[in-house]
Structure 1
C-alpha cells in the first residue's frame, strides 16, 4: 500500500534538501514499515515508505527508469489489480521487466502511454511520476478516491503527500486553520477536495494533476456517467454476480497473508463467501475478523440505525463458509482511552472522525495486522447499491440538506449550540450544508428520459458516491495505514459502480428492500437469515460507562483554563452536557461530544495557527 510524498521547486536545487525530504517521508513510516527511499533531481524530490505486498524483494521505491534523455522516477501507493494483463500487453509492445511488482508495470505504462496510462488501470492507487526529461510532475488518484493524495501549492512549485502530516513536515507549509476549515470540521460532511488546512487541498477522485514550468493543471479522467440500462432484473443480478466473482479473483492476489473483515451484514458476508470460494480452491483457509463490545448483549436497545447485534450473524457466516474466525472484543476503557483517541486523531491528521468508532476500527485493524497484511472490507456497498435507510425515506429524499444529516438528526443536526455564538454566525454552517448539497445534486449526471422522481433518486445516489463515500474511505485508509494494514475495497471497482449507478431505482429495490441487486447476486452463497438482514452500520457501543468516561474527560477539560478549544467552543455548553444524565444524551449530542474531544486532542497535538 505504502505512503508517497514529494516536493517540486523550480527555484531551488532540491538535491541540497534531502534532509527535509527524509523528514517528510519519515512521517509516513506507519504506512510503509518495510522500506524507505528518497530520490532527488535538480528541481524535484520523491519520498516513499513501502508496505511490501507483491514481489517483496523487487518492489523498492522510488523506482527509476533511466532513458537517454533523462530519468523518470515513480513513487506509488496502492494496487493495480490488472497488472498481470498490463504486463503482458506492455511486453507485446517491446518492454522488458526486471521485477514482478505492479510498481514496475505502472512505471512502464507511463513510458508507453504518458498520462493516458490512467485509462488502462484497474485498482486503488495514488502516485507521483517525475519526468526529468521535461521537468514535469504527474500526480494521479484512483477513480473512486480509495487512496489519498494531498497537495499544497507553493510560490515556485508544489508539496504533496499521502497524508497532510507529510506536507506539514516541510517548512514551507503553514499549520493554519481558518473558518472554511472549521465549517468542514463541524459540518459532518467532507466537501470534495477539502483538506481543512489553509492552503492545502486534496486531489479529487478520478483526477490527475500535471505541474511544469507553466504551472499546475488538473484533469478529470473518470467520472460516472448516466447511461441507459437495458438489462432486466435477472440479467442485472447475473451481471453483478459475474463482476463480483471477477473482482474477487483480481483482488485476492498478494504475496502476504490476507483476511476479510466480517460484520455479519450483507456486504461483508458476501465478500467473505466469495473470498472463501477462491481461497478454498487454492487450499487455503480464509481468515476473518470482527469487532464487538464487552457485555453488549446485556441491555442492547434496537434503534433506527441498528436493530440487531452483529455477533450472531458473524458466527453464522463464519461457520457457513468455513473461516478461521477471530472476535476482537473491546470494553469501555479501551474505547475511552485518551491514548487511543490521540492515535486515531493523529492517524487522520484532522478532527473529523467518528469518535469511538474510529478507535474501535483502529484497534480492529491492529489486531488483524498481527496475523495479516492485507484485508478485504465492504466499504462502498451501501453507496453503490443504495443501502442506507435514509435513501429510502421520502422525507430525507426531499429534504434540502444531505440525506444522512436529515435522516439521523434533522433540524437538530443543523444547529451547533456548542460553537461560540459569534463564530457560529459567521460560519453559517446550515447555509454551508444546504448550499453544498444543492451544488452536489446539480453536478450529478442523470438521463433526460428519467422522470423527476427517478432523477432525484439518481442524484442522491451520486451524492453518496461523491461526498459520503469519500469520508468512509478516508477513515478506512487512515485507520488501516496507521498500523500498516492494506485494506482493499472490492465494491469500489469502477466497473461495478458504473453498472449499478445506471440501474433504475425499481431495479435497485426490486424485492422491496435496500440493496436488492446485491442480495440477488448473493443468493446461494449465504444463509437466508443473513441475506434478509436489515442494513446494520459499523457498530457503536451502547455501554453507559463509555459516556460516563467521556463526561469525566469533559470535567478535566473544564478545569483547563488555557485550553485553546474554548476559543471555539462555549464553555457553558460543555459544563451542561458534562452533568447531563447519559440516558438523555441523544445521538446528535453524542456526536458533538466526541467531535469536541477530537478537536481538543487535535489542537493539543498540532497547535495550528487559528485564522478566525
Structure 2
C-alpha cells in the first residue's frame, strides 16, 4: 500500500504492466482521477484493487479489476466504506455458523463455484470483479468497469496464425507479470502449465530458480522432468522434500488465514516452497495456477477442427479416441454430446454427502458471470472468470506475503484470458491430445519429453496417506464440537464414516478436509485449544494468526 499526495489518498495493490519503469502507480491513478473522475479505472491495463478517498468532494471509491485478479473486502456501515485491513473483524474474533451466509457455507463444503461476494466474516463482503463501489454525500452506489466479453469469438484462418498469436500472448503474459523484476522463483513441475512460464522467464533474461516438489512415490515424482526443463532453459531446479508434508502433519504449526477457512491440503508444501524461495533471496514467486481452467470445456473440438482443417484431420483424431475408449463412447461423447445446448455444460455437481438444505441452496444460486451462457464454452468461462479461483489467488497471496514474497500468476493475464475465451475449441483439445495450441506454441521452448507428455502428476498420495484411519486421532473431538460449521450442510453420517477411516472416493477425502479446515479456522477465531496433543495451543498460533 502507498499514499498519494493530499487531498487525494489512494490505496493500491496490483500490477500495471503498461506503466513506464519508475512510474509511481499512486500518482498515475491520482492524475487519471483528476482527468476522468469516477471513470479513472475504465480500460486500465493490469490487475488491481484500489481504494481512493477524495476529501474535497467527500467521496470514497473502491474497486477490483474486471478479471478478479485482485480482490478486496469491504464493510458498509452508516454510508461509509471500509476496506481490507481497516476492518478489524477480518483479523480476529469468534464467528458463529449462524452468522455466516448459508449459501457461502454450502459452497465451501460442496466445493462449488461462488455465486456472490459473501464472506465468512459477518458484516463484510468481497467486491465482485469489475465492481466500483462509491460512498458519497448521496449515499452508496455502484457501477461496473468494462470487462471481459464471454460472447466474443475469434476465427483464425490458419492453425499457424492461432499458434503464433497464442505463443506471443503467453510470452507477453510472463513478461507483463515480471515487469521490473530481475529474479524470480517458479513453482515447477514437469507439466505444461509451469514449465513454459519458467522457460519464458529465463528467455527474458530473468534469473530463475525452479522449485520442484520431490515425492518418492512415482505417481508424484516430477523432479526428472522439471530438471530437464531447467537444463533446457538454463536455470537451476531445487527439490522441495514432500513425503512428510501431508495435511496437518504438524497441527500446532498448521497456518490459517484469519478471514477464511479455505485451505489447500498441500499447505505445508506451499510453506516449504515459500521458505526455500525466500532463502534463495527471491521476492517474487511465479505459479502456473489457473492452467487447467484456460483449456477446459473444449467439447466441440471435432466440429471446429472439421470446419478449420477438413475431415481428414478431424477423423484421424476421432480414431485415436476410439482406439482408447471404443467407437460408441467416441461418437457419444465427442460427436453427439457436444451438439447439445451449451447451457447444459453448466449443470452443477452436488457432492453426495451434502444435506438437502445445502443442495437446495446450491441449486438456487446464480451463476457468475451472469452472462456466462453466452460464452463459447460456458464451463470454461465459469472457471476462467471464477470467483472461487480469483478469491483463491488472493488467499494464496496472503500466505506468500507472510514470507516476504509476491505471488505472480501469468496464466490469469487478461489478454491471455480473452484469447482463451474466444478461440475455437480445437485449439484447446483434439481428442486424446490436450492443449494442442500450447504444445505447438512451446516447440523449441521446452524439451520434447515435456512438450509431448500426455500424463499428469498425481500428488494426492500424500493427502490419502495422512487421512487414513488412526493418522488424525484428534479429528473426532474437533468435528464433534458444538457449533461446528459443517452441521446442517454435511450429513452427520458421512462425517462419522470419515472419522472411522471410510474414504472410498476422492470426494470423500475432500469433504473430510473441508470439515477439518472449517473447524480449525472456527476454533482459531474463537481461541479454543487444539484437541488431544495440542492442548493449550490454538490452531494456527505458531503461524501468527
Fold equivalence (TM over 0.5): yes
Pick aligned residue for 1:346 from 241, 250, 257:
257
Q: Deviations over 1:134-177 (max 9, x none)?
A: 01111121232122201121123122116976646699x99932
Q: 1-side partners of 2:467 and 2:347: how far apart?
A: 23
CA contact (8 A) 2:186 2:198 kept: yes
2:243 is matched with: 331
1:227 is matched with: 152
CA contact (8 A) 1:287 1:325 kept: yes
Residues 2-21 of structure 1 correspond to what in structure 2 (within 5 A)? Answer: none
Shift of 1:595: 0.9
Question: Cα–Cα, structure 1 residues 205 and 363, in superposed 2: closer, same or farther, change >3 Å?
Answer: farther
1:463 is matched with: 382
* Structure with more relative contact order (C-alpha pairs < 8 Å, separation 6 or more): 2
Shift of 1:591: 0.7
Q: 2-side partners of 1:164 and 1:132: how far apart?
A: 20
Q: 2-side partners of 1:404 and 1:363: how far apart?
A: 38
1:415 equivalent to 2:353? Answer: yes
1:444 is matched with: 372
For structure 1, list consecutive stretches of 5 or more residues without a partner in the other structure.
1-47, 49-60, 86-98, 301-307, 417-423, 447-454
Q: 1-side partners of 2:195 and 2:474: how far apart?
A: 37
Q: 2-side partners of 1:591 and 1:530: how far apart?
A: 29
1:433 is matched with: 362
Task: Calculate the TM-score normalised by the size of structure 2.
Answer: 0.78
1:7 is matched with: none
What SS does the corresponding residue of 2:472 show, helix, strand or coil? helix
Question: Cα–Cα, structure 1 residues 366 and 547, in superposed 2: closer, same or farther, change >3 Å?
Answer: same
* Matched length: 486
1:551 equivalent to 2:472? Answer: yes
Question: Cα–Cα, structure 1 residues 391 and 210, in superposed 2: closer, same or farther, change >3 Å?
Answer: farther
Shift of 1:440: 4.3
1:594 equivalent to 2:513? Answer: yes
Give the stretch that moved more between structures: 105-114 or 181-190.
Answer: 105-114
1:114 is matched with: 37
2:115 is matched with: 191
Q: 1-side partners of 2:129 and 2:43: how far apart?
A: 16
What SS does the corresponding residue of 2:185 show, helix, strand or coil? strand
Residues 342-421 of structure 1 correspond to what in structure 2 (within 5 A)? Answer: 342-343=254-255, 345-346=256-257, 349-354=259-264, 356-370=265-279, 371-386=281-296, 406=349, 413-416=351-354
- How large is the RMSD of aligned CA atoms in angstroms? 3.7
CA contact (8 A) 1:369 1:484 kept: yes
CA contact (8 A) 1:332 1:545 kept: no
Residues 71-220 of structure 1 correspond to what in structure 2 (within 5 A)? Answer: 71-84=7-20, 100-161=23-84, 167=90, 176-189=99-112, 190-220=114-144
Q: 2-side partners of 1:334 and 1:108: how far apart?
A: 49
Shift of 1:79: 1.7
Question: Cα–Cα, structure 1 residues 113 and 290, in superposed 2: closer, same or farther, change >3 Å?
Answer: farther
1:42 is matched with: none
Shift of 1:314: 1.2
Residues 16-27 of structure 1 correspond to what in structure 2 (within 5 A)? Answer: none
Q: 2-side partners of 1:119 and 1:320: how far apart?
A: 41
1:479 equivalent to 2:417? Answer: no
Question: Cα–Cα, structure 1 residues 556 and 252, in superposed 2: closer, same or farther, change >3 Å?
Answer: same
What SS does the corresponding residue of 2:416 show, helix, strand or coil? helix
1:536 is matched with: 456
1:291 equivalent to 2:202? Answer: no
Q: 1-side partners of 2:104 and 2:200: how far apart?
A: 41
Give the stretch that moved more between structures: 146-155 or 457-466.
Answer: 457-466
Q: Deviations over 1:419-448 (max 9, x none)?
A: xxxxx34xx2223333336x44862163xx
1:64 is matched with: 4
Question: Cα–Cα, structure 1 residues 475 and 169, in superposed 2: closer, same or farther, change >3 Å?
Answer: closer
Task: Calculate the TM-score normalised by the size of structure 1.
Answer: 0.70
Shift of 1:508: 2.9
CA contact (8 A) 1:386 1:515 kept: no
Shift of 1:202: 0.8
Question: Cα–Cα, structure 1 residues 223 and 435, in superposed 2: closer, same or farther, change >3 Å?
Answer: farther
Q: 1-side partners of 2:207 and 2:243: how far apart?
A: 29
Q: 2-side partners of 1:378 and 1:162: how far apart?
A: 28
Give the stretch that moved more between structures: 112-121 or 199-208.
Answer: 112-121
For structure 2, list consecutive stretches of 5 or more residues without a partner in the other structure.
303-332, 528-545
CA contact (8 A) 2:225 2:450 kept: yes
Shift of 1:402: 7.6
Question: Cα–Cα, structure 1 residues 106 and 414, in superposed 2: closer, same or farther, change >3 Å?
Answer: farther
Q: 2-side partners of 1:536 and 1:514: how far apart?
A: 11
Q: 2-side partners of 1:539 and 1:388: how far apart?
A: 25
What SS does the corresponding residue of 2:433 show, helix, strand or coil? coil
